[in-house]
Amino acid sequence: MAAAIAAQQLSKDFRVKVRDPGLRGAVAALFRPRYRTVRAVRAVSFEIAPGEIVAFLGPNGAGKTTTLKMLAGLLYPSAGSTRVAGFDPWTGGSEFKRRIALVLGNRQQLVWDLPALETFQLNRAIYDIPRLDFQARVEELSDLLGLADVLDKPVRQLSLGERMKCELAAALLHRPPILFLDEPTLGLDVSAQDAIRRFLSAYRDRYGATILLTSHYMQDVTALASRVLIINRGRLLYDGALEALVARIARTKRLELVLGDGVTEQRLAVFGTVKSFRAPNAVLEVPRAEAAATSARLLAALPVVDLSIEDPPIEDVIRQAFAAGGEAEE
């Protein structure tokens, strides 16, 4: 079956003004501006089959959003090509745009001063959705996302989580086969994040939509995506199933501690690898399986004010995975 989303050696370069910090640098930039080329995306290739949920993972500035914008047709590639829903996104036009939904985490399409329902009506008109279909879809999306009391309140009165859910609903009214979501769970509380992940999963199950989301949260991956594309500094580092990634990398957990008086680094080091020690804060790395047991022992043996068990940050995951390979500094 043809891929829903395909990228071939996709690249994007930007020219950026360079400025030294501080007052002197600012004056210099005033009279002699300098530029350098930023290789935001470098020869990225992948294929996503219809109905897959794929997470684009990577730290800030890795190139995730730029790649997404190329797939959505907002930017054109500096090199390489891409094909989405059978179209070239840049030249696809209206026909292509009806097949996609683009939700950018930090900007919203909902009209701020009106109830979300008004934006829905607007989208209905834009995408030419038949009335009965529209009503059915609004009801269904409202059910799946829990929007019953929320749709007729002005958007500015909604919480961030409610807004994001309405934003998603508005984007899906025309039931596109392809969804591009840029940081959909950014800034949301845990329950809202959870609700959105469950919704996206259910949506895909029901309609076979292909979902590509960018994120820098590990939980987006574990709860939602069957496959991850890890991108860092414009390069695709890893493309594969989630289990393999977890098995390969996240073998450790981090214990983030706030310690009481009198704890030295040596005393802590007995329990695991000390990643950082700046009294009273410390970070300890322990094997995943032993995290709970070690925590218990720690709490019993040392004066611990606060303890939390965290996944290693995505940067560590990437570094760990590719300690052998490494990428050259630009």
Partner 1 sequence: MSPVAVWTRRYGAMIRNAWLVDLQYRASIVLWVLWGVTEPVIALGIWWAIAGDGAVGGYARDDFARYFFGVMLVNALTIAWDSWQLDRWIREGDLNYRLARPLNPLHESLADNLAYKVRGAGTILVVWLAAASVWPAVRLPFDPTRWAWVALAVALAAAMRFFISYTTGLLAFWTTRATAIMELHAGVGMFLAGRVAPLALLPPVVASVAQLLWFPYMLAFPVELLTGASLTSDKLLRGFAGQIVWLVIWIAAYRLAWRRGLQRYGAVGG
Partner 2 sequence: MSWRHPLRVVGALVRLNVAEELQYRANFIASLLGTLFWIGTALLTLGLFFRHTTTLGGWQFWEVVVLLGVFNTVSGVIEAVLRPGIGQLASEVRSGDLDLVLARPVDAQLLVSFRQIDLWRFTDVVLGLSLAGYALVRLDRTPTALQIAAFLVALAAAVLVVYAIWVALMSLAFWFVSVENLSVLFDALYEGARYPVSAYPGALRFVFVYLVPIAWTTTIPASALTGRLGPAIALGAAAVGALAFLITRALWRLALRRYTGASG
Rounded to 10 degrees, the C-alpha dihedral 225/179/84/123 comes to: 180
Q: Which stretch binds partner 2 (CB under 8 A): 15-23, 67-75, 146-154, 218-226?
A: 15-23
Count Cβ atoms within 10 A of the Cβ of residue 162 and give its class: 0-12 exposed, 13-18 middle, 19 or more buried.
buried
**Nearer CB in complex with partner 2: 31/329:** 31
Alpha carbons 254 and 241: distance in angstroms, whole number: 23
**Applying CB under 8 A, which of residues 4, 41, 48, 72 lies at the interface with partner 1?**
72
CA dihedral for 184, 190, 191, 197, sign (positive or negative): positive
**CA-wise closest residue to 158 among 168, 171, 149, 145:** 149
**Nearer CB in complex with partner 1: 98/153:** 98
**Applying CB under 8 A, which of residues 42, 83, 124, 253 lies at the interface with partner 1?**
124
Q: Which stretch binds partner 1 (CB under 8 A): 112-120, 186-194, 214-222, 245-253?
A: 112-120
**Applying CB under 8 A, which of residues 8, 45, 81, 109 lies at the interface with partner 1?**
109
Q: Does 19 bind partner 2 (CB under 8 A)?
A: yes
Segment (H or E) for 82: strand 79-84
Could you say which of partner 2, partner 1, none residue 75 binds, taking C-beta under 5 to 8 angstroms by partner kind? partner 1
Site residues (CB under 8 A) for partner 1, limited to 245-264: none
Q: Does 29 bind partner 2 (CB under 8 A)?
A: yes
Count Cβ atoms within 10 A of the Cβ of residue 28 and give its class: 0-12 exposed, 13-18 middle, 19 or more buried.
middle
Could you say which of partner 2, partner 1, none residue 15 binds, taking C-beta under 5 to 8 angstroms by partner kind? partner 1
**Nearer CB in complex with partner 2: 29/237:** 29
Q: What angle do CA 205, 191, 289 make, to 5 degrees?
A: 85
Site residues (CB under 8 A) for partner 1, limited to 1-60: 14-15
Q: Does 222 bind partner 1 (CB under 8 A)?
A: no
Segment (H or E) for 72: helix 64-72
Q: Does 153 bind partner 1 (CB under 8 A)?
A: no
What residues contact residue 204 under an 8 Å CB cut-off, 6+ apart? 51, 53, 210, 211
DSSP state, residue 115: B
Could you say which of partner 1, partner 2, none residue 322 binds, taking C-beta under 5 to 8 angstroms by partner kind? none
Between β-strands 227-232 and 53-57, what pairing exists: parallel, antiparallel or unpaired? parallel
Between the alpha carbon of residue 286 and those of residues 167, 257, 293, the distances in Å are 40, 13, 10
Q: Which stretch binds partner 1 (CB under 8 A): 109-117, 136-144, 251-259, 269-277?
A: 109-117
Q: Which stretch binds partner 2 (CB under 8 A): 18-26, 81-89, 124-132, 179-187?
A: 18-26
Residue 306: beta bridge partners?
A: 258
**Nearer CB in complex with partner 2: 22/130:** 22
**Applying CB under 8 A, which of residues 73, 161, 184, 312 lies at the interface with partner 1?**
73
**Nearer CB in complex with partner 1: 72/195:** 72
**CA-wise closest residue to 175 among 151, 201, 141, 132:** 141
Q: Does 33 bind partner 2 (CB under 8 A)?
A: yes
Rounded to 10 degrees, the C-alpha dihedral 261/262/263/267 comes to: -160
Q: Does 22 bind partner 2 (CB under 8 A)?
A: yes
Could you say which of partner 1, partner 2, none residue 126 binds, taking C-beta under 5 to 8 angstroms by partner kind? partner 1
The binding site for partner 2 (CB under 8 A) comprises 19, 22-23, 26-27, 29-31, 33
